[in-house]
A and B are shown apart, each in its own frame.
Chain A
């Protein structure tokens, strides 16, 4: 792999994508346990208008520190707006259906993001960066933000793990034990939004959610205890982003898409491995 390493931009990409894979994997395990997978997908679409506006207010084609602050604030705002709209439209008035409300809100907000992007860039030239990411052109700041997100998530998981497990698997007990559920949920949403914004730079709005869900789904198939699931999910996230980068470098595949394909492959492998293990143990039991 010496050829792989001889390019400076690839080292930078690998450093950023490794942190992203670990971060997305860690949060993804919580996301799946909370049954929020579809919300993750929706978030990738719904934050687009906020991210684009925040990015514009931060100035410059490559996001500086101000650009990141703007993108994060915008993402929180439009992600919050989406959540409020969906929950209101799922209930308000006759003919309200949650699946329909969700589809209308997310396609509408995503459309708003595309419209703003197209105005800003006078045509559609740079739209692809936000939609499909630019994993091979990460800046040192992108990498720094990804590692910062990972550090925050690791800190959060390490200090709040007990509360988190209670919240996920025994909400009643958590309430009784005096765990601040609203605060925990808010912390989770803030970390999720930060990670999605960081991930947007690398894999784009359309596919970032897949890197939240696929490694974690594979981990849930491969392990049973939650701490093991979280650890495996982070490892699978790392394998997806690093493997996707390698495939992209070796065969010229679209980078973000290659990462998602690796993640999907891991789900298939974990599922097949599980069936195989079950068949073997059944045979051993019969013998």
Chain B
């Protein structure tokens, strides 16, 4: 049993969760919201810990609350002042992140440090990380597997979905909850950088290759797993942080697919 096998398993599981949830986040055009969640997960975890104690569900609830507060604050600034949307986002996101960094500094009993939150510590993950990530993966599979056709309709045609009697508000809430839960679960394992990269890059790449729901989700999952495995394999001999290498590969894959796509179209035309 080599020492890095456990870490590889953890990174792969995190990649699977992010690719799966990220696929539906992408379809529902919530990429900016994923950004909001990733910025506010830090103060959220601290708030959840202070309110409910040391438990993964408390962290997820806190992260969700903080992310909602973050988007509400942006909306409020945008409506009530003459600042444009980009300036509002530029003020609010870092404010939440900074609040998290400061709060983390004087809350005892939370074994997180801001540095590790950013780049993760896959190679030295604490016990319990595996359980949180595995639970997030099972929740995501259960939620999407149970209502596969409904999720497809909801993602591609929300109006039709509501007209045909689907509980669209509930589904939106479930998707948000899954996003927050998986962000919290993978945070300690792989860090924020990689969490954002894993949420965004595989679905974005898959969306350039197919338009059908099944292949899209499958491809997104395969890309996430492949990029994570390749990045991990490269990072070990280089002695680099796996999170950084995997994020770089995500960008490389996206750019390569875009490049090939524009080439083949040029040839066909």
Contacts and interface: CB of A to CB of B under 8 A. Distances in A.
Given A111-B246, A253-B102, A93 B208 contact: yes
B153 to A, nearest CB: 20
Contact of B80 (A32, A109, A271): A271
A93 B244 CA distance: 27
Interface in A100-152: 100-101, 103-105, 107-119, 122, 124, 127-128, 131-132
Query: Mostly helix, strand, loop or mixed at chain A's interface?
Result: helix
A254 to B, nearest CB: 5
A100 B31 contact: yes
Given A124-B115, A131-B118, A210 B90 contact: yes
B193 to A, nearest CB: 5
Contacts of A230: none
B150 interface: no
B154 to A, nearest CB: 19
Given A37-B87, A210-B98, A261-B99, A104 B201 contact: yes
B234 to A, nearest CB: 9
A35 B262 contact: no
B89 A210 contact: no
A117 B244 CA distance: 9
Contacts of B116: 124
Contacts of A40: 90
B261 A93 contact: yes
B91 A119 contact: no
Instruction: Name which of A89, A95, A105, A207 has the most chain B CB atoms within 10 A of its CB.
Output: A95
B246 A100 contact: no
Contacts of B84: 32, 35, 37
Given A89-B255, A104-B200, A112-B247, A217 B95 contact: no
A106 to B, nearest CB: 9
Contacts of A38: 86, 89-90
Interface in A247-274: 251-254, 256-258, 260-261, 263-264, 267, 271, 274
A214 B87 CA distance: 8
Interface residues of B, number: 65
Query: Mostly helix, strand, loop or mixed at chain B's interface?
Result: helix
Given A103-B200, A104-B254, A132-B114, A260 B98 contact: yes
Contact of A264 (B98, B235, B265): B98
A210 B208 contact: no
Contacts of B208: 93-96
A101 B102 CA distance: 31
Given A96-B258, A124-B119, A210-B95, A108 B90 contact: no
Interface residues of A, number: 67
A207 B118 CA distance: 13
B83 interface: yes
Interface in B222-241: 235, 238-241
Contacts of A196: none
Contacts of B97: 206-207, 257, 260
A194 B158 CA distance: 46
Contact of B250 (A107, A116, A261): A107
Interface in A78-107: 85, 88-89, 92-97, 99-101, 103-105, 107
B214 interface: no
A107 B98 contact: no
A250 to B, nearest CB: 13
Instruction: Name which of B84, B102, B254, B259 has the most chain A CB atoms within 10 A of its CB.
Output: B102
Interface in B1-57: 26, 31-32, 34-35
Nearest to A88: B258
Interface in A206-239: 206-207, 209-210, 212-214, 216-217, 220-221
Contacts of A108: 197, 201, 247-248, 250-252, 254
A243 to B, nearest CB: 13
B207 A95 contact: yes
Contact of B245 (A94, A115, A132, A209): A115
Interface of B: 26, 31-32, 34-35, 77, 80-84, 86-95, 97-99, 101-102, 105-106, 114-116, 118-119, 121, 193-194, 196-197, 200-201, 204, 207-208, 235, 238-241, 243-248, 250-252, 254-255, 257-259, 261-262, 265
6 contacts: A37-B87, A93-B262, A94-B261, A100-B204, A115-B238, A253-B105
Query: Which 6 pairs across A and B sit closest by C-beta, in order of nearness?
Result: A108-B251, A111-B247, A115-B244, A210-B94, A114-B244, A93-B261
